[in-house]
A and B are shown apart, each in its own frame.
Chain A
């Protein structure tokens, strides 16, 4: 075959293939009836749910009949159906297309590979079937899966069926001594785009062989990002516990189960995933016996400090002091046992009160244990409280620690032994006449915790003051400000009223001014300045009359003044006297030397009389 012929045949075959490929979907799309099946997941674990969507498209008239096959290894949880009809116009006329969709929620119950057989549909004599689909179901967790040794540096990658969501335990150490703290977290890993919520939560498990304290159990989960096997996950901490192993050996952290709703909307739907973290083992080592000091108590494991203080360095005879012994640090503070108190020469000791305060944070458990011992000096002078020792095991350093306080010196003023017991003890209460002989109890044995909070050794027993609401100063303190404020407002109102001008106030003011001018006129007269005296008299007369009448008389002629006074009802004698005084004053002012001292005195007297007459005159409006 020639080369050209081969090339030609090849090209023709390609062209035919292209045409067929292009036509086939179009042909398929125009089939009278078609069925398709889709699964949300094809790899799940037992207990997980998945969604199967069966879609039937019919272009023929007639009822659609659908036969759903038996599903092996999968159980149907729920089913819903939706239908739709669309109308289109083609070259051959109107085309009605009906679409029916069944959505089934299934739960994988049996592990293995399961095939979903073809789904068959029939309508108006036409049939169609979907392709079979395979689902792989792997076993979720399970008791037969052995526990693995904990590894703080590594997170086990997700197994089959866990691709999108899985749980893991995380510890800060895989190996610890008895009593040493181990932090245990439960983390949720999810792919970045996954939408999920917790349907069923499990509380932190109780663990045999451990004393545990829940350190963190957030109401709102915070997210961090981690990479495992090159793949990025969003990680959420469900809880953190501080564990303190009680005995040596290999200890297993059991699994817990959480159920998640995945891809669920407000309309429902989505899937349910049940997840468990793989079990892990922790290695608990016994405490070393080599070099163990005497007096060690099993709960004293941790990093601690010890201190002792007294509330008074100097006490008078007959008074007690309080010795406080405090052990503080990181570890299981509640199980810490403070040491036995040795006998203290010169002191009588009383049973102690023990309390602890525990702090729980992201780093675990810490706090302090405090013992308060009442000491009563039995003799005067300088007494010494010896050092107190506590033996602990520091697991971080793997060594025994002998913690010791320093000794404390106390000065006792006076001689407590001089205070005979009969002076301080009351007579017998039971009436027998025999003083109660109560032997003091010597402190012995380990420090113990009382249930009740201890008595108060000293008190001033002052009489309770009356409550504030029954005391006069309180009432006075509350009433004083509003009263003062009311007084202030009253004073302001009165001052304002006083400043307000009324006809009466103006009249009084005018009278005052007139008298003031009269006084100045007298002074001028005594000085021998008759001109100034007359000037003052005239001004006083005119000002007073203006205030009285309401019209200024300045610049008026005598006739005009007369008329103005007559118009206001002034009696004629008054008018005559007024005009006479005005003329006399003007004369005296403008003719210097016309008046002598006697004349000025007389003018003063007349003016005073005239002023009185003007004051009593009632002006006719």
Chain B
């Protein structure tokens, strides 16, 4: 009886500690959502500076979600920070490639920015050099990778299950079903793998946004000839780096060198 008491006290303390930690953890988990709602209210009230501050604090705390980037992009856009808005929208698209609202707002802000700078926005389907990611992205963006991963797995099971059944069922309806299963399984597996491969290509595409309108040079040094202008807010693909410069590929297929400091990596 005497020995049991210290044990019971210890168990009780442990339970209380666990509960406290749990509730602290839960509070920490819901705090970002509360702050997000609070930031949204600030934005709707018109206090965009405060809203941006709160959104950025959420990002600093490691919260990375397409809704957060989207709302931050809207706040930046409403305060005239077009390039920051473009970067936020592009990061949202990285997380959710099929998000139509993000694409829409990105298009609005980008065309306003580039139109104001007197530069025509590069065509969405650029001529000249076309990267695999550019070709693949519009095809796979609306398709959920996890959904198609499920289809691939189901297709794989169906394919090999049907192959196994085909060895045993050599004639009759069973054989026909087995053959059909092989075809459907192969197609599902192929489709699922292809969509995910496309997402891999897009996710690994080394993209960046140009910070401000500047010169595009022929080579990786200030002494090289200027071959044109590149607009702030334009999305590019980083092909290589040399010293303080990077060679970028624009959406219209042209390429050139730009200072690393002028790029914001996505």
For the complex, is A219 an interface residue (Cβ under 8 Å from B)?
no
User: Of A98-106, A244-252, A452-460, which binds chain B?
Assistant: A452-460
**Chain B: minimal CB distance from A349 (Å):** 10
A405 to B33, CA, bound (A): 34
Cross-chain contact A481 with B53 (CB below 8 angstroms): no
Given contacts A458-B37, A469-B200, contact A426 B57 (CB under 8 A): yes
Cross-chain contact B50 with A459 (CB below 8 angstroms): no
For the complex, is A144 an interface residue (Cβ under 8 Å from B)?
no
A596 to B34, CA, bound (A): 100
Nearest A residue to B146 by beta-carbon distance? Answer: A468
Residues from chain B with a CB closer than 8 A to the CB of A488 are: 164
A335 to B97, CA, bound (A): 34
Q: Which of B131-190 contact A (CB under 8 A)?
A: 145-146, 149, 152-153, 156-157, 159-161, 163-164, 167
Cross-chain contact A457 with B64 (CB below 8 angstroms): no
For the complex, is A474 an interface residue (Cβ under 8 Å from B)?
yes
**Chain A: minimal CB distance from B29 (Å):** 9
User: Of A66-74, A380-388, A435-443, which binds chain B?
Assistant: A435-443
Out of A351, A436, A451, A453, which one reaches B50, CB within 8 Å?
Answer: A436
User: Of B18-26, B70-78, B225-233, B250-258, which binds chain A?
Assistant: B70-78
Nearest B residue to A457 by beta-carbon distance? Answer: B40
**Chain B: minimal CB distance from A335 (Å):** 22
Cross-chain contact A465 with B163 (CB below 8 angstroms): no
Nearest B residue to A471 by beta-carbon distance? Answer: B149
Q: Which of B75-118 contact A (CB under 8 A)?
A: 75, 77-78, 95, 101, 104-105, 108-109
Residues from chain A with a CB closer than 8 A to the CB of B199 are: 467, 469
Cross-chain contact A441 with B46 (CB below 8 angstroms): yes
A571-601 contact mask (Cβ, 8 Å, vs B): 1 or 0: 0000000000000000000000000000000
For the complex, is A90 an interface residue (Cβ under 8 Å from B)?
no
Cross-chain contact A453 with B101 (CB below 8 angstroms): yes
A458 to B108, CA, bound (A): 23
For the complex, is A461 an interface residue (Cβ under 8 Å from B)?
yes
Given contacts A440-B45, A469-B200, contact A474 B149 (CB under 8 A): yes
For the complex, is A477 an interface residue (Cβ under 8 Å from B)?
yes
Residues from chain B with a CB closer than 8 A to the CB of A477 are: 149, 152-153, 156-157
For the complex, is B260 an interface residue (Cβ under 8 Å from A)?
no
- The SS class assigned to the B binding surface is helix
Cross-chain contact B161 with A429 (CB below 8 angstroms): no
Cross-chain contact A484 with B67 (CB below 8 angstroms): no
Cross-chain contact B105 with A453 (CB below 8 angstroms): yes
Residues from chain B with a CB closer than 8 A to the CB of A492 are: 167
Nearest B residue to A492 by beta-carbon distance? Answer: B167
The tally of CB-CB contacts under 8 A between chains A and B is 126
Cross-chain contact B160 with A481 (CB below 8 angstroms): yes
A441 to B44, CA, bound (A): 8
Cross-chain contact B67 with A461 (CB below 8 angstroms): yes
For the complex, is A462 an interface residue (Cβ under 8 Å from B)?
yes
Cross-chain contact B40 with A455 (CB below 8 angstroms): yes
For the complex, is A26 an interface residue (Cβ under 8 Å from B)?
no
Given contacts A426-B57, A467-B203, contact A478 B153 (CB under 8 A): yes
For the complex, is B218 an interface residue (Cβ under 8 Å from A)?
no
Cross-chain contact B41 with A424 (CB below 8 angstroms): yes
Cross-chain contact A438 with B45 (CB below 8 angstroms): yes
A464 to B33, CA, bound (A): 15
Residues from chain B with a CB closer than 8 A to the CB of A428 are: 50
For the complex, is B266 an interface residue (Cβ under 8 Å from A)?
no
Cross-chain contact B149 with A455 (CB below 8 angstroms): no
Out of A376, A439, A441, A468, which one reaches B145, CB within 8 Å?
Answer: A468
Cross-chain contact A478 with B53 (CB below 8 angstroms): no
Residue among A438, A439, A451 with most chain B CB within 10 A? A438
A436 to B161, CA, bound (A): 64
Q: Which of A487-512 contact B (CB under 8 A)?
A: 488, 492
A8 to B104, CA, bound (A): 103
A412-428 contact mask (Cβ, 8 Å, vs B): 1 or 0: 00000000000011101
Residues from chain A with a CB closer than 8 A to the CB of B164 are: 485, 488
Cross-chain contact B34 with A424 (CB below 8 angstroms): yes
A391 to B44, CA, bound (A): 29
**Chain A: minimal CB distance from B103 (Å):** 10
Given contacts A455-B40, A469-B196, contact A482 B156 (CB under 8 A): yes
For the complex, is A350 an interface residue (Cβ under 8 Å from B)?
yes
For the complex, is B212 an interface residue (Cβ under 8 Å from A)?
no
**Chain A: minimal CB distance from B132 (Å):** 16
Cross-chain contact B146 with A481 (CB below 8 angstroms): no
For the complex, is A519 an interface residue (Cβ under 8 Å from B)?
no
**Chain B: minimal CB distance from A351 (Å):** 8
Residues from chain A with a CB closer than 8 A to the CB of B42 are: 425, 436, 438
Residues from chain B with a CB closer than 8 A to the CB of A425 are: 38, 42, 50
Residues from chain B with a CB closer than 8 A to the CB of A474 are: 149, 153
A481 to B182, CA, bound (A): 13
Q: Which of A365-396 contact B (CB under 8 A)?
A: 374, 376
Out of B37, B68, B196, which one reaches A468, CB within 8 Å?
Answer: B196
A438 to B50, CA, bound (A): 9
Cross-chain contact A429 with B54 (CB below 8 angstroms): yes
Nearest A residue to B78 by beta-carbon distance? Answer: A452
Cross-chain contact A461 with B63 (CB below 8 angstroms): yes
Cross-chain contact B33 with A459 (CB below 8 angstroms): yes
Residues from chain B with a CB closer than 8 A to the CB of A480 are: 156-157
A-B contacts besides A429-B53, A461-B33, 15 pairs, CB < 8 Å: A350-B45, A428-B50, A429-B49, A430-B49, A436-B42, A452-B77, A452-B105, A453-B105, A455-B40, A455-B43, A455-B71, A459-B33, A467-B203, A481-B156, A488-B164
Give 11 A-B contacts (CB < 8 Å), ordered by A residue: A350-B44, A374-B44, A426-B57, A452-B108, A453-B104, A458-B37, A459-B68, A461-B58, A468-B146, A468-B196, A477-B152
6 closest A-B pairs by beta carbon, nearest first, are: A429-B53, A468-B149, A438-B47, A477-B153, A459-B67, A481-B160
